[in-house]
Chain A
């Protein structure tokens, strides 16, 4: 069994991360009735002796003493991390896992990446190394951050390049929250584009999440909860809609949205944590979903987002779950994958679902989903037998699809609007180490990325002939 380390950077990163740990504990508590520290728990938690402050961890098999998250928390202002440390999750982290400063990054990528990046380089590497050493077999780093601000975006991408430098063999899966068009941070396009350059270069794969989609989903759930359709009652205790039942009691404003992202992470890692008839390791995600090194931006979609009170789920409902995963409403970015080109798709199923159910649904949905010519059967499946809390089964679809192109093009437009007028540029150029070339490089990288997707899109309409085979002399 392998372990993973979660690195949460910035306000958004830490808030989402916090929800993740809360839900993870709840999930394991639900499954692990005997209080034993098993392999599943050890993938994300250490088990230490509470008496010993720098406690050596206990091996798998014993009783749970004291669970500590395998995490590193980084933020350049103290508010969020302090809140975590005062809240019910304080026992799960210890001070050696935290890195904070006081003044924040002022929504400035350059400050996060260059100023703090250099100042804290040693400390960051140190904490990462410590977390890695505490793992028997480290398979993956999960980085959670937002793209629009200064710390998550700037320092987060600096941490990413450090991860590649120090641990080149370990997979890097990044969850990036992209800002919506009406973001209140004016310079978010600059921060996002500068960060994207680093993501394209250093990440193994990126799970794209857009704030606007999360807002839409949460609103839809609210409408459904107050809906008047008879027989349709939304269960209140599903992990997707609420953190109730977890450690933290009252809900804070972004909690509902953050819960969705936290669930995404829970589901991706479920096959690595629990057993199933078709396991999928985390290194298999990148292997199967990333056909070209730079095109590693994945569109997640999660179902179900709400549970109906009807527990007895006939096959029809199961099939509905598969259909939902491919509908626009369930994607975590504003995109329409069905009308773009699929390069590859992974289906991660949890709960009591058999291989034959998955194969039947793939056959059913296949005709309506355009796949690239050289990957007509590009499906990767995994089956995990443990369902999430409050549901009988769930499905996470991760698609590598050219529908991310419009998203990137919009981002480019917002960037260009500002950059043309050189608006706010001086804030960045004043930072030591920052030059205008960073901007031009970043936009060039984004341009070529959009080009690559465009290229693949162009093959969609055309009927691609099979490549001529090698001919053998007789």
Chain B
């Protein structure tokens, strides 16, 4: 079964190109025939000449980034994007969500839907759709939300996963918090699961773990692509009966997003190190899993600065609050292990009921996927995708800042002139406060 990826806006297109690059090189590495076939079937279709063409659509309101992504793909020599699998206009969305959602989206609806339809028809069976975008700008956020809505309308029974990149806290765009709030509120109704990467976190991974001196956006994008790839590449699941799972998005969604109020997913992957160091390092599953477990419960998204003092609370000590303690309660977790000796790896205590909310049994809350094939040059790697309180603080900050700005009605006239109202803003704020409240009360 195949996955169709829709890349939206500058960020979506840049990250998407890195993702396909990593998937392709991982799939073609070494002698792992079944894995390679499964991976290629999932993400590429083959032309008559045996060339790999990504099952992807590139959508942006201005042409520069799409052109760059398509030419970089072609240059790799291993894969490319479809010649006509892209849509762009001449003028961007001006960092304005309303411009993207109310103007550009509807204006180009037919063209985009046509592109999606063509790509889906090329699949034997559709496993689901992934929409990749950022939330800070105008196109990824606004047009991206509109396109997700269209996808939901056309494919009501398919799985839709939205991958979002959250901007640096100190800002790249002044109105980023408005754009983020509007996007998240709408997507919560449309998407099956929302997987988030934060630029701040990935930036720290680049500087502290990968030791990159002058960090550029392509460094950041490559880390995001690596982490995404570690989820999406073929794996053996509990339901796949000894073969690679044919329904990765479906299994991901049912493992993690079982309740409509809880759809925010975060992730961490270990190890992450400079590629020059990989060859000289060895890892053990118990060691990796111990770190991963502590990263989960102390809400550290990378393998440095882990707070080992944080422990799961005793039964009586469970408190419901945003600031209460630094223990991160999980609703559900998906652990994905890839590499050598994976069959002997245990769960590392990540299925311990103390980590989870009380109303879901740990059997339902915890899922484990394995693949004996090493991923992207790491002999062993472990990825944890969590539906937990990990994004609560960043989300609360984002809503807080947007609300403060809204209280003085700053910049609102820029949105209103494209067709959304103060009511729409209030609705979005209300939805997100609800999400924040739900996650705060998780215990």
* Complex: chain B residue closest to A138, CB-CB: B91
Determine if B363 is an interface residue (Cβ-Cβ < 8 Å).
no
Evaluate contact between A467 and B403: CB separation under 8 angstroms.
yes
One of A30-38, A179-187, A275-283, A306-314 contacting the partner:
A275-283
CB distance from B179 to the nearest CB of A (A): 10
A331-369 interface code vs B (CB 8 A; 1 in, 0 out): 000000000000110000000001110010011000000
Q: How distant is the Cα of A93 from the Cα of B403 in the complex, in angstroms?
A: 50
Q: How distant is the Cα of A363 from the Cα of B430 in the complex, in angstroms?
A: 33
**When the two chains form the complex, which single residue of A2, A378, A469 contacts B433, counting CB atoms closer than 8 Å?**
A469
Contacts of B411 in A (CB 8 A): 287, 290-291
Determine if A374 is an interface residue (Cβ-Cβ < 8 Å).
yes
Contacts of A137 in B (CB 8 A): 90-91
Contact A284:B414 (CB < 8 A) given known A277-B217, A374-B407, A469-B403: no
* Complex: chain A residue closest to B402, CB-CB: A374
Evaluate contact between B413 and A281: CB separation under 8 angstroms.
no
Contacts of B171 in A (CB 8 A): 377-380
Q: How distant is the Cα of A267 from the Cα of B171 in the complex, in angstroms?
A: 22
Contact A283:B170 (CB < 8 A) given known A354-B214, A354-B216, A466-B404: no
B394-435 interface code vs A (CB 8 A; 1 in, 0 out): 000001110111111111011000000000000001100110
Evaluate contact between B404 and A467: CB separation under 8 angstroms.
yes
Q: How distant is the Cα of A287 from the Cα of B411 in the complex, in angstroms?
A: 8
Q: How distant is the Cα of A375 from the Cα of B168 in the complex, in angstroms?
A: 15
Evaluate contact between B410 and A375: CB separation under 8 angstroms.
yes
Determine if A409 is an interface residue (Cβ-Cβ < 8 Å).
no
Evaluate contact between A470 and B433: CB separation under 8 angstroms.
yes
Evaluate contact between B217 and A288: CB separation under 8 angstroms.
no
Q: How distant is the Cα of A362 from the Cα of B16 in the complex, in angstroms?
A: 30
Evaluate contact between B169 and A355: CB separation under 8 angstroms.
no
Contacts of A55 in B (CB 8 A): none
Contacts of B410 in A (CB 8 A): 291-292, 343, 374-375
Evaluate contact between B175 and A287: CB separation under 8 angstroms.
yes
CB distance from A134 to the nearest CB of B (A): 15
Determine if A29 is an interface residue (Cβ-Cβ < 8 Å).
no
Evaluate contact between B217 and A374: CB separation under 8 angstroms.
no
* Complex: chain B residue closest to A373, CB-CB: B404
Q: How distant is the Cα of A379 from the Cα of B171 in the complex, in angstroms?
A: 7
Q: For chain A residues 355-410, which have a beta carbon within 8 Å of chain B?
A: 355-356, 359, 362-363, 373-381
Determine if A1 is an interface residue (Cβ-Cβ < 8 Å).
yes
Contacts of B215 in A (CB 8 A): 355-356
Determine if A139 is an interface residue (Cβ-Cβ < 8 Å).
yes
CB distance from B200 to the nearest CB of A (A): 11
Contact A355:B216 (CB < 8 A) given known A288-B95, A378-B174, A467-B407: yes
Q: How distant is the Cα of A284 from the Cα of B409 in the complex, in angstroms?
A: 19
Contacts of B96 in A (CB 8 A): 287
Q: How distant is the Cα of A277 from the Cα of B219 in the complex, in angstroms?
A: 13
**When the two chains form the complex, which single residue of A1, A359, A379, A470 contacts B429, counting CB atoms closer than 8 Å?**
A470
Evaluate contact between A1 and B90: CB separation under 8 angstroms.
yes
Evaluate contact between A136 and B404: CB separation under 8 angstroms.
no
Evaluate contact between B404 and A472: CB separation under 8 angstroms.
no
**When the two chains form the complex, which single residue of B168, B174, B409 contacts A344, counting CB atoms closer than 8 Å?**
B174
Interface residue SS majority, chain B = loop
CB distance from A108 to the nearest CB of B (A): 34
Determine if A474 is an interface residue (Cβ-Cβ < 8 Å).
yes
Contacts of B414 in A (CB 8 A): 286-287, 290
Contacts of B94 in A (CB 8 A): 281, 283-284, 287
CB distance from B2 to the nearest CB of A (A): 33
Determine if B243 is an interface residue (Cβ-Cβ < 8 Å).
no
Contacts of B170 in A (CB 8 A): 359, 362-363, 377, 379
Determine if B78 is an interface residue (Cβ-Cβ < 8 Å).
no
CB distance from B19 to the nearest CB of A (A): 20
Residue in A275, A359, A470 whose Cβ sees the most chain B Cβ within 10 Å: A470
A458-474 interface code vs B (CB 8 A; 1 in, 0 out): 00000000110111101
Determine if A227 is an interface residue (Cβ-Cβ < 8 Å).
no
A435-474 interface code vs B (CB 8 A; 1 in, 0 out): 0000000000000000000000000000000110111101
Determine if A87 is an interface residue (Cβ-Cβ < 8 Å).
no
Contacts of A380 in B (CB 8 A): 171-174
Contacts of B217 in A (CB 8 A): 277, 355
Residues of A within 8 A of B (CB-CB), count: 44
Determine if A433 is an interface residue (Cβ-Cβ < 8 Å).
no
Number of A-B residue pairs having CB atoms within 8 Å of each other in the complex: 105
Determine if A88 is an interface residue (Cβ-Cβ < 8 Å).
no
Evaluate contact between A472 and B437: CB separation under 8 angstroms.
yes
Determine if A293 is an interface residue (Cβ-Cβ < 8 Å).
yes
Q: How distant is the Cα of A472 from the Cα of B437 in the complex, in angstroms?
A: 7
Q: How distant is the Cα of A281 from the Cα of B171 in the complex, in angstroms?
A: 17
Determine if B64 is an interface residue (Cβ-Cβ < 8 Å).
yes
CB distance from A136 to the nearest CB of B (A): 7
Evaluate contact between B91 and A281: CB separation under 8 angstroms.
yes
Q: How distant is the Cα of A310 from the Cα of B171 in the complex, in angstroms?
A: 33
Contacts of A472 in B (CB 8 A): 430, 433-434, 437
Determine if B92 is an interface residue (Cβ-Cβ < 8 Å).
yes
Q: For chain A residues 105-144, which have a beta carbon within 8 Å of chain B?
A: 136-137, 139
* Complex: chain B residue closest to A344, CB-CB: B174
Evaluate contact between B174 and A474: CB separation under 8 angstroms.
no
Evaluate contact between A292 and B413: CB separation under 8 angstroms.
yes
* Complex: chain A residue closest to B430, CB-CB: A470
* Complex: chain A residue closest to B417, CB-CB: A293
Q: For chain B residues 23-76, which have a beta carbon within 8 Å of chain A?
A: 62-64
CB distance from A359 to the nearest CB of B (A): 7
**When the two chains form the complex, which single residue of B62, B95, B406, B409 contacts A287, counting CB atoms closer than 8 Å?**
B95
Q: How distant is the Cα of A362 from the Cα of B168 in the complex, in angstroms?
A: 13
CB distance from A358 to the nearest CB of B (A): 10
Contacts of A359 in B (CB 8 A): 168, 170
Contacts of B168 in A (CB 8 A): 359
Contacts of B434 in A (CB 8 A): 472
Contact A374:B408 (CB < 8 A) given known A293-B413, A379-B170, A470-B433: yes
A175-202 interface code vs B (CB 8 A; 1 in, 0 out): 0000000000000000000000000000
Evaluate contact between A469 and B400: CB separation under 8 angstroms.
yes
Q: How distant is the Cα of A356 from the Cα of B409 in the complex, in angstroms?
A: 32
* Complex: chain B residue closest to A275, CB-CB: B64
Q: How distant is the Cα of A291 from the Cα of B410 in the complex, in angstroms?
A: 5
Contacts of A474 in B (CB 8 A): 437, 441
Q: How distant is the Cα of A284 from the Cα of B136 in the complex, in angstroms?
A: 13
Contacts of A355 in B (CB 8 A): 215-217
* Complex: chain A residue closest to B404, CB-CB: A374
Besides A277-B216, A277-B217, A283-B91, 13 other A-B contacts (C-beta < 8 A) = A1-B90, A284-B95, A286-B414, A287-B175, A287-B411, A356-B214, A375-B410, A380-B172, A467-B403, A467-B407, A469-B400, A470-B429, A472-B430
13 residue pairs of the A-B complex, CB under 8 angstroms, read A137-B91, A281-B94, A287-B411, A287-B414, A292-B413, A354-B216, A363-B170, A373-B404, A375-B174, A375-B410, A377-B169, A378-B174, A470-B433
Residues of B bordering A, CB below 8 Å: 62-64, 90-92, 94-96, 168-175, 214-217, 399-401, 403-411, 413-414, 429-430, 433-434, 437, 441
Residues of A bordering B, CB below 8 Å: 1-2, 136-137, 139, 275, 277-279, 281, 283-284, 286-293, 343-344, 354-356, 359, 362-363, 373-381, 466-467, 469-472, 474
- Closest 5 pairs (CB-CB, A-B): A467-B407, A291-B410, A283-B94, A137-B90, A377-B171
